[in-house]
Amino acid sequence: MDQLITEKLSKTYGGSSMALQDVSFSAPSSGILALIGRNGAGKTTLVRILATELAPTSGSASINGIDVVREDKRLRERIAIVPQEARTISWMTPKQSTLTYLMWRGFEYSEAKKRAEESLARLKLDKYADTLNRKLSGGTKRKALAAMVLASEADVIFLDEPTTGLDPISRRDFWEILRELAKDRFIFLTTHYLEEAEQLADTLAVLGGGRLVAVGTVSSIRGRIRYQYSINLPAGSPVPGVAQGEVTTGRSGEVQILTNEDEAFAISKKLSVAGSRFSIRPVSLDDIFFQLVGESTQGEQEAAAPGADGGWSA
C-alpha cells in the first residue's frame, strides 16, 4: 500500500532553534491526513519538508516510496501545495490563476485551459471564473487556490491551514471541497481546528513542541489516551469522588470529569441514584488534544531537566 513514511525527521533553524525533533511515523497516503498542533508546534516545517520546499537537518521521509530529499525532482511531478498565507494574485482571475499554474507545471495551453475550466466548475466557481481575484470574498479566494491544485495532475496535495480566517459557513463549504479532492488523491492537511480534523481526517497526527505526540485514526487515538469519557455537571452540582480521572471546573462553575470507561460507568450510576443532572459522552478531539499536548508539554519540561532522557516517537 502507498504510504507516507518519516524516519527521525528533525529540523533546526539557525543552528539552535529546533522546529522538529525525531519525527517518525508511517501513514497510508490516501484520503485525508490531518496534522494538528498548537502555533509553533512544527506543522508548517513538516509540511514544507515533505513538499520538498525545505531540507531536513537530519532524518528521512518518503511518499509512496519516493524520497523527499534524494528524489525531490521526481516527487515534484506528483505533488502540489497551497502554502500557509498563500493568496490569489490580485490582478488575475481564478481562471487565469488556474490556467497559468497548470502551464507552470508544464501543461500545454489548450490542455491547461480545459482542465482549469473543469476544475472551476467542479468547485462551483465557474460563475467567478472571470472575476478579478481581488473582488472575491475570502472563502472564494481559498476555493480558487484549491481549484488550482485540483486542476493539476498531482496525486498528493498539501494544504497548510487552508481554512484559517474563514467564517464557519465558508469553512464547512471548504470541507466539501476537501472531501471532493480526497476522492482520488491524498490530502495532507494542517489545521488549528480540531472539529475540522475530526470531521475530515482518515488519519490524524498530533505535533507538540516539534515532536510527534500521536498518529492514527481518531478512534485509535481515543483508545490510546488515558481517559476516554467525559462527564459534565452543571454549576453547583455535588461532585462525586473520582478514583481514576481528572476533575476540572470551568469559569462559570461547570465541572468536567475525564475518566476511563469503568469509572465513568460507576460515577454515572452514583449520579443517577442521587438524581443529579449530568451528561456523559466519549471524549471529543478537543479533550484528546489537550490531554496529548498537555502530556507532551510536561514531557518537554522533564526532558529539559538535567539528566532527563527525553524524546519519543510513534
Partner 1 sequence: MRRSYSSQLVAAILVNSVYEMKNYPINLVNTVLSPLSFLVVIDFVSKGALIGQAIEGGLIMSMFQSGMSLQGDISHLKNDFKLQDMLVSSPASPAVYVIGMAASEIIYNLPALAILVILGGIYIHPGAFQAVELTAALGLMFLTSITIGFMFATLSSDIVQSFAWSRLLTTIFTAITPVYYPITYIPLPFRYLAYLSPTTYVAEIMQSVAGSLKLGEASVISDWLIIGGLAAVLLVVVSRNARWKEA
Nearer to partner 1, 103 or 266 (CB): 103
Q: Computed from CA positions of residues 264, 223, 174, 138, in that sequence, does the dihedral angle turn out positive or negative?
A: positive
Nearer to partner 1, 190 or 291 (CB): 190
| Least gap, CB of 82 to partner 1 (angstroms) | 7
Residue 70, C-alpha cell as written in the block: 534524494
**Rounded Cα–Cα distance for residues 115 and 119 (Å):** 6
Nearer to partner 1, 23 or 145 (CB): 145
| Least gap, CB of 157 to partner 1 (angstroms) | 10
Nearer to partner 1, 47 or 205 (CB): 47
Residue 14, C-alpha cell as written in the block: 539557525
**What are the respective helix, strand and coil percentages of the chain, to the nearest 5?**
40, 25, 35
Nearer to partner 1, 159 or 292 (CB): 159
Nearer to partner 1, 112 or 187 (CB): 112
Residue 67 has a CB neighbour count (10 Å cut-off) of: 14
| Least gap, CB of 80 to partner 1 (angstroms) | 6
| Least gap, CB of 35 to partner 1 (angstroms) | 16
Q: Pairing relation of β-strands 79-82 and 156-160?
A: parallel
Q: Which residues pair with 12 in a beta bridge?
A: 18
**Rounded Cα–Cα distance for residues 71 and 79 (Å):** 12
| Least gap, CB of 73 to partner 1 (angstroms) | 8
- Left if phi > 0, otherwise alpha if psi is -120 to 50, otherwise beta: which for 169? alpha
Question: Binding residues for partner 1, per CB under 8 A?
Answer: 48, 51-55, 73, 76-77, 79-89, 91-93, 96, 99-101, 103-109, 112, 132, 148, 152-154, 158
Q: How far is CA 277 from the centre of its chain?
A: 35
| Least gap, CB of 271 to partner 1 (angstroms) | 52
Q: Computed from CA positions of residues 163, 142, 175, 52, in that sequence, does the dihedral angle turn out positive or negative?
A: negative
